[in-house]
Each structure stands twice: as structure tokens, then as C-alpha cells.
């Protein structure tokens, strides 16, 4: 069986985790700040605050921006539910923005249209938009930021898919997760992501106020104001209501070791993507839509192919599964989930719906061998020839 994605764990990763297991601290020890420092250096940000999942990172980042009842969270419809759910945890309302039907990335025209439609009234507390650097492609963060500034709203990049991703526009070199065009960026360390901690996440930001708030809320809203030289070094106080969203030292040690391998991992993913691009660009792959132009800085969390006709995608998924190749659909548009339909009613976002009908994520992970990748291409060829 060839999965659509899978973690890559090295002997060094295992040694790092074993070292923690033999140490005094399984959690709240030295590995957490070490991992945070490594993330700050890697992404060139002032603060990295690690936490228990990517969902927790989004929840903490939105909370750190003061999102609450009376706030509106704006989320592209093609993403994992977590990007939207975390707004609801805080009592905010949600609005879904359409995506570019060829890339699945947030559509800036749709964003501007949506922001224009938001009525400003005395109960409106704040508006936050979360562009998702989907599948490893950098979202149009510069344009989103420009629109956000025009409308006085804040930006949190959901960079769960895109550490190490970048793209160049006429005006900017945009690097995912570096917070040049956002207040904060969130990472996920789920096993299918670039950096694996088992579960885990991080909030990255250049703003001291957000970092302080996120650090406090990650651990119940409790602070320890005194150092060991104070007469009451044990003293702690709870100033606000937070959660236990801490990352353990076991996970942080694994994360730091994985982060050191990020560039090598990205090279492997980019090489595999080039091989797929080359193999799939010739007949008989005429059932597939042409690829949009893709930046060489794509981080290839997912390799998504698109079928020309509705229904072909589902048949391809089944065909490949019977051959031992697991594929996945990213994503069911969030506004189409029964929970959200019940909550906001039935809305139509044609870009997201077209993307959803045709997309299929085929195997993409650093340990995918050339031989296994050739098998994926050959079975896909057989499907297209039979189709
Ligand atoms: C775009 C996106 N955002 C957020 C998350 C949530 O991350 P986690 O699973 O670490 O909570 C995911 C997870 O798949 C994701 O794909």
C-alpha cells in the first residue's frame, strides 16, 4: 500500500526523543524553548510559541489578537475545518471567502467583496482574515495584507501546509510563515506535515503583545512573575482563562530535530513534484486539467491533480485504491459541512466547489521512492487509458 502521505523519522530523531525520555523533564523542560529558538531563527521571526496542535495554534493566535464575541473570522472555503473552528471556539462569527478555482488559494476579489459587505456597527469588535498557504503554495499574502490594511482588519496566515514555501511577485518576495504580511502565522506538526511532532503546532509573530498573550493562554493564563532569586520564587497567579495547550519536551525534541531536516525534506518533495510534472504532462493524461503556473518555491505538502469532469475523480480514487494506492481529497469546502450549513445556511462559492469536484491528492512525501512514484504514474496512466 502506498499512502498519500507519511512522516519521515530519522535515527537522529529517535535518539533525540530517547535522550529526553532518560532526562528529568518529559514536559516543561529545556527542549521547548530550544525548539522555539530554532523556529525563530529558521523563519526570522521575533517569537515562536509552540503548542499542542495546529488547531491550538490557531485558537491561541486568534485569542492573542483579541478575537471574541462580536468578532468576525474570514476563512477561505478550501481548507481544513480547524482554520474556521478556532474562530468559533472564541465566540466569533465566521464568513467564508471563495478561492481561485485553479489553485484553491484565497481569491482577493472575493475577499474584498466580502469585506465591503460587512456592515460596521457598534457591536462589531474586530475582523480577522486567515489566508491559507494551501497544499504548500504561498497564499497571496501581500495582496491580502494590502486589502486588510485598507479595511482595518488583521491577518493570521495558516501556514500549516507551507513552512519553507515562497513565491515572487512583481513587487515582493513572499515567504510563508515569516509574518512580513501578517500579524501571526500558525504551523501544524501533525505527522503528514513537513515537521512532525506526533501532534503539535506553533504561533509565529513579530508582535510582543501577541506572543505574551499566546504564552500565557497556552498554560491556563497563569504567569510566574518572579525568578529564583526572589523571596517567593514559587509564586504564580492566574490572570485570565487559558488552556493546557503545552507541547511536551518529547515532542519538542522531535520537532527540533525534524526542523533541522526541513530543507532536505523540501528538496526531496520538490524533486518528486518535478518528476510528477514531467510524467503527467504528456498524453494519455488528457483527463487531467492543465496545471496553473507553479512557483519553484512551492513546499509540496500535497501534490494535487485535477480532473476535467465531475465523477472522474471519484472513479480514479477507487481505481487507485484497488491497486494499493491511497489518494485523498483536500478539501470538502468548509461551508458545505452539515455543521456549517446549519450554522450559516446554504451558500454558493463557485471557485471552491469547482476545485473540490475535481481535485485529488496523490502520494507525496519525502520517503516516496522513485519506484513507488512510477507505480502511481503507471496506474494513473492505466486509469486515463481506460477512462
Ligand atoms: C490548513 C490546516 N490548518 C490547520 C490544521 C490543524 O492542524 P492540527 O491537525 O495540527 O490541529 C490542519 C491540519 O490538517 C490544516 O491542514
pLDDT value for 387: 67
Structure letter (DSSP) for residue 336: G
- Has residue 6 been placed in a domain? no
User: Average pLDDT for residues 15-35, to the nearest whole number?
Assistant: 97
Choose which residue among 52, 54, 330 to substitute to test ligand 1 binding: the one with the highest number of ligand atoms within 8 A of its C-beta.
54
Percent of residues, the chain, with pLDDT higher than 90? 91
**pLDDT band at residue 119 using 50, 70 and 90 as cut-offs:** confident
pLDDT in tens, 194-210: 999 999 999 999 999 99
Integer angstrom CA distances of residue 130 from 57, 183, 214, 293: 13, 10, 17, 24
- Has residue 2 been placed in a domain? no
Same domain, 222 and 327: no
Same domain, 178 and 65: yes
Is 55 near ligand 1, meaning CB less than 6 Å away?
Answer: yes
- Distance (Å) from CA 186 to ligand 1 centroid: 9
Residue 131, pLDDT > 80, answer yes
pLDDT in tens, 36-45: 999 999 999 9
Atom of ligand 1 nearest to the CA of 79: 1
- Distance (Å) from CA 103 to ligand 1 centroid: 19
Is 95 near ligand 1, meaning CB less than 6 Å away?
Answer: no
Structure letter (DSSP) for residue 287: G
pLDDT value for 122: 80
**In the block, residue with C-alpha cell 456549517:** 340
Give the total number of structural domains in the chain.
2
Last residue of a domain, one of 208, 241, 256: 256
- Has residue 368 been placed in a domain? yes
Last residue of a domain, one of 237, 256, 275: 256
Same domain, 144 and 278: no
User: Average pLDDT for residues 371-384, to the nearest whole number?
Assistant: 96
Same domain, 110 and 28: yes
Same domain, 276 and 228: no
CATH of the domain at 74: 3.40.640.10
Is 130 near ligand 1, meaning CB less than 6 Å away?
Answer: no
Is 83 near ligand 1, meaning CB less than 6 Å away?
Answer: yes
User: Average pLDDT for residues 363-370, to the nearest whole number?
Assistant: 98
- Has residue 220 been placed in a domain? yes
Same domain, 104 and 197: yes
Choose which residue among 60, 75, 80 to substitute to test ligand 1 binding: the one with the highest number of ligand atoms within 8 A of its C-beta.
80
**pLDDT band at residue 71 using 50, 70 and 90 as cut-offs:** very high
Question: What pairing do the DSSP bridges indicate for beta strands 184-188 and 237-238?
Answer: unpaired
Same domain, 224 and 267: no
Is 5 near ligand 1, meaning CB less than 6 Å away?
Answer: no
Single pTM value for the model: 0.97
Beta bridge partners of residue 7, listed in sequence order: none
**In the block, residue with C-alpha cell 503583545:** 209
Same domain, 294 and 321: yes
Beta bridge partners of residue 72, listed in sequence order: 93, 127
Is 182 near ligand 1, meaning CB less than 6 Å away?
Answer: no
Atom of ligand 1 nearest to the CA of 330: 16
Contact 303, 378 (CB under 8 A): no
Q: Give the C-alpha separation, 334 to 84, whole Å.
A: 8
Closest residue by Cα to residue 252 from 263, 244, 242, 260: 260
- Nearest residue by C-alpha to atom 16 in ligand 1: 80
Same domain, 68 and 211: yes
- Has residue 36 been placed in a domain? yes
Domain of 214 in residue numbering reads as 11-256
Integer angstrom CA distances of residue 274 from 185, 280, 296, 321, 380: 28, 10, 10, 24, 17
Is 82 near ligand 1, meaning CB less than 6 Å away?
Answer: yes
Last residue of a domain, one of 225, 256, 287: 256
Integer angstrom CA distances of residue 332 from 27, 34, 325, 329, 335: 36, 37, 21, 7, 8
- Has residue 4 been placed in a domain? no
Same domain, 105 and 151: yes
Q: Which residues contact 377 (CB under 8 A, 6 or more apart)?
A: 276, 279, 280
pLDDT in tens, 280-310: 988 788 888 888 878 889 999 999 999 998 7
CATH of the domain at 368: 3.90.1150.10
pLDDT value for 314: 95
Atom of ligand 1 nearest to the CA of 190: 10
pLDDT in tens, 218-234: 999 999 999 999 999 99
- Has residue 355 been placed in a domain? yes
Residue 169, pLDDT > 80, answer yes
Choose which residue among 7, 160, 361 to substitute to test ligand 1 binding: the one with the highest number of ligand atoms within 8 A of its C-beta.
160
User: Average pLDDT for residues 56-71, to the nearest whole number?
Assistant: 98
Same domain, 56 and 124: yes
Q: Give the C-alpha separation, 219 to 26, whole Å.
A: 16
pLDDT value for 296: 87
Same domain, 221 and 318: no
Q: 3-27 in b/e burial notation, b at 16+ Cβ within 10 A?
A: ebbbbbbeeebeebbeebeeeeeee
- Has residue 188 been placed in a domain? yes
Amino acid at each position: 500500500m502506498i499512502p498519500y502521505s507519511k512522516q519521515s523519522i530519522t535515527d537522529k530523531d529517535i535518539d533525540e526523543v530517547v535522550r529526553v525520555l532518560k532526562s528529568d523533564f518529559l514536559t516543561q523542560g529545556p527542549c521547548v524553548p530550544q525548539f522555539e529558538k530554532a523556529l525563530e531563527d529558521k523563519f526570522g521571526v521575533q517569537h515562536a510559541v509552540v503548542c499542542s496542535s495546529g488547531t491550538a495554534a490557531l485558537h491561541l493566535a486568534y485569542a492573542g489578537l483579541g478575537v471574541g464575541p462580536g468578532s468576525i473570522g474570514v476563512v477561505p472555503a478550501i481548507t481544513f475545518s480547524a482554520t474556521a473552528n478556532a474562530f468559533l471556539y472564541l465566540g466569533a462569527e465566521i464568513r467564508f471567502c471563495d478561492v481561485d478555482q485553479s489553485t484553491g488559494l484565497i481569491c482577493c476579489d472575493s475577499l474584498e467583496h466580502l469585506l465591503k459587505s460587512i456592515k460596521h456597527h457598534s457591536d462589531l469588535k474586530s475582523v480577522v482574515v486567515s489566508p491559507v498557504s494551501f497544499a504548500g503554495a504561498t497564499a497571496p499574502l501581500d495582496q491580502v495584507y494590502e486589502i486588510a490594511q485598507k479595511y482595518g482588519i488583521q491577518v493570521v496566515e495558516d501556514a500549516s501546509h507551507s513552512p519553507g514555501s515562497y513565491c515572487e511577485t512583481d513587487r515582493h518576495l513572499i515567504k510563508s510563515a515569516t509574518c512580513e504580511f501578517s500579524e501571526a502565522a500558525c504551523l501544524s506538526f501533525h505527522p503528514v506535515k513537513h515537521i512532525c511532532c506526533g501532534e503539535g503546532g506553533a504561533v509565529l509573530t513579530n508582535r510582543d503583545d501577541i506572543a505574551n498573550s499566546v504564552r500565557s493562554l497556552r498554560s491556563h493564563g497563569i504567569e510566574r512573575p518572579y525568578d529564583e532569586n526572589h523571596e517567593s520564587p514559587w509564586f504564580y497567579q492566574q490572570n485570565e482563562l487559558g488552556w493546557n495547550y503545552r507541547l511536551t519536551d518529547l515532542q519538542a525534541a522531535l520537532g527540533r530535530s525534524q526542523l533541522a531536516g526541513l530543507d532536505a525534506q523540501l528538496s526531496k518533495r520538490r524533486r518528486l513534484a518535478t518528476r510528477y510534472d514531467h510524467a503527467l504532462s504528456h498524453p494519455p493524461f488528457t483527463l487531467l486539467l492543465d496545471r496553473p503556473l507553479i512557483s519553484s518555491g512551492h513546499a509540496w505538502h500535497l501534490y494535487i491533480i485535477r480532473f476535467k469532469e465531475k465523477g472522474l475523480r471519484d472513479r480514479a480514487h477507487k481505481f487507485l485504491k484497488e491497486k494499493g494506492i491511497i489518494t485523498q481529497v483536500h478539501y470538502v469546502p468548509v461551508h458545505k459541512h452539515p455543521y456549517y450549513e446549519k450554522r450559516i445556511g446554504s451558500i454558493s462559492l463557485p471557485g471552491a466547489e469547482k476545485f473540490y469536484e475535481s481535485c485529488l491528492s496523490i502520494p507525496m512525501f519525502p520517503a516516496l521512492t522513485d519506484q513507488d512514484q512510477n507505480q502511481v504514474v503507471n496506474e494513473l496512466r492505466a486509469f486515463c487509458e481506460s477512462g
